[in-house]
Amino acid sequence: MNYSKKNIVIIIAFLISTNLFSETLHIKEEVFEEKIKTKGSNGNFLGPSAQIKGSYDFDLGTITALFEGGPRQLRNNFTLGFCLSNTGRTGVKITTEHLMQDLKFNFFTGSEKKWVHQVAGGVGFKHVFEQEDSMLFLKSCQLDGYYAHSWGRNLGEKHIPPNKICINKRKIAGSDSWGGSGGVDLQFRKIRSILGLEANYDYLKYNTKNSHHFSKSGIGGGISLLHPFSDTLDLKAKASFRKPFNNYSGEFNWKPKSVPGLTVGLFGGYTAGKHRLASSYDIGIKLSYLFGLSRISSQNNKNSMLDCSASKNYLKRWLQEPTIKMPQVLAISDEKISCKIISEEEEESCNGVISGSLILEEGVNNVKFLISNLDSFTSTGDIVLHVTSQEANIDELIDINSIAPNQSTEVTENYFFDAYGSPVAVLNWELETVHDVCIDIIASLQE
């Protein structure tokens, strides 16, 4: 099938516009995340890592096993690929993966490094078109889908100093996610480079217990480049913009002519987490070997199903690559803070400023201030309650009516906190009075 340059331009414009629309949806959220980013949220360095991959070709397809390890990462990945046509232009593959990573999770009482687990599976389909006699032509199209599940961990409770009236309930929340992508590969004939464009969709649900239910879904895009410098050297680079994260990766490969089937390379990657997901990066070396080369060579002239591995080396390399290779375990910190009264009252002198603090959670917080006058004198002056929270962008003054001895008044306020980058917000309050009176305050968070 022949594709005109106009069709190629339309495809490129569609994929780029899809990705720009997705990124525009994230601009407001990401700017807000940057403003209230918690301390200790720097990326996790998982390396240096070593990757070993072995592929074996048989009559109907390929089997590939990939193992990757480092100080804070272990990965097992297996892929089974098949050629679906005698011409070697259509292929399908399935992948299963188990990933373990030692990640840092931030909580109100400090960060914790813990190992977390994730399993994933994916299926992919690819069709290679006949080459066209033009400078830029459509080389192939593909569809992919995946599902991933990660397990959470219960970390117990911690008391918050100095008075230990607040308790920090801590948990690592695992997740369930699924998604798919569709894309095309475009080839530049003169320089042999292959440009890949894709649009993707992800649905992600974190299995939280302490905080509110947390799920995200949306569209994104990606771009990749494969550039062969020669028959033995090539460079790969890829950028993916997905709902849970953005991922940037690259690798440089060398295939020595003296050892057919052997590939030695360097790789690196950075994952920028979104929506409370931590970031991570890794560098390492890779070693891969393709078995069964002698058998393939002997069958090249027999028009076998594995013609795709000889005359269609491009599809063969795709069959040997995993359908799904998650850059990071999708798990986040999940916490809840329960507080009783927090106050800094002075027993000997009750005049002046009485202050305290309270912890706000994500969503609408119904806060009740119960103000009681325990002094034997009646307060006739103005009493002002000053409430502030830097994380929740709160700064207001509340006028309190005069309080008779042994009487009380109640003030209830609703405060909204959107926990994008920080799991909790600190609500500070100060009670100011110009009279020599003793004020007793109870501030509580209403469920």
Among left, alpha and beta (phi > 0; psi -120 to 50; other), residue 192 is left
pLDDT of res. 360: 80
pLDDT in tens, 176-220: 999 999 999 998 877 788 999 999 999 999 999 887 778 899 999
Q: Are residues 322 and 376 in the same domain?
A: no
pLDDT of res. 371: 77
pLDDT of res. 310: 37
Nearest Cα residue to 311 out of 80, 54, 131: 131
pLDDT of res. 164: 58
Q: Are residues 281 and 422 in the same domain?
A: no
What are the tokens at 49? 């890592």
pTM score above 0.75: no
Cα-to-chain-centroid distance, residue 55 = 30
Q: Are residues 12 and 86 in the same domain?
A: yes
Q: Are residues 95 and 125 in the same domain?
A: yes
Among left, alpha and beta (phi > 0; psi -120 to 50; other), residue 134 is beta
pLDDT of res. 257: 92
Nearest Cα residue to 88 out of 308, 325, 332: 308
Domain boundary among 289, 310, 335: 335
What are the tokens at 48? 């240096």
The residue range of the domain holding 10 is 5-335
Q: Are residues 352 and 315 in the same domain?
A: no
pLDDT in tens, 256-269: 999 998 999 999 99
The low-confidence residues of the chain, meaning pLDDT below 70, are 1-42, 132-135, 161-165, 293-312, 339-354, 373-382, 402, 405-406, 419-423, 433-443, 445-447
Into how many domains does the chain fold? 2
Domain boundary among 288, 305, 335: 335
Burial 177-203 (b: 16+ CB within 10 A, else e): bbbbbbbbbbbeeeeebbbbbbbbbbe
Q: Are residues 307 and 347 in the same domain?
A: no
Q: Are residues 287 and 414 in the same domain?
A: no
CA atoms within 13 A on the CB side of 177: 31
Domain boundary among 335, 365, 385: 335
Cα–Cα distance list, 58 to 63, 80, 348 (Å): 8, 11, 87
CATH of the domain at 441: 2.60.120.200
pLDDT of res. 94: 98
Q: Are residues 212 and 312 in the same domain?
A: yes
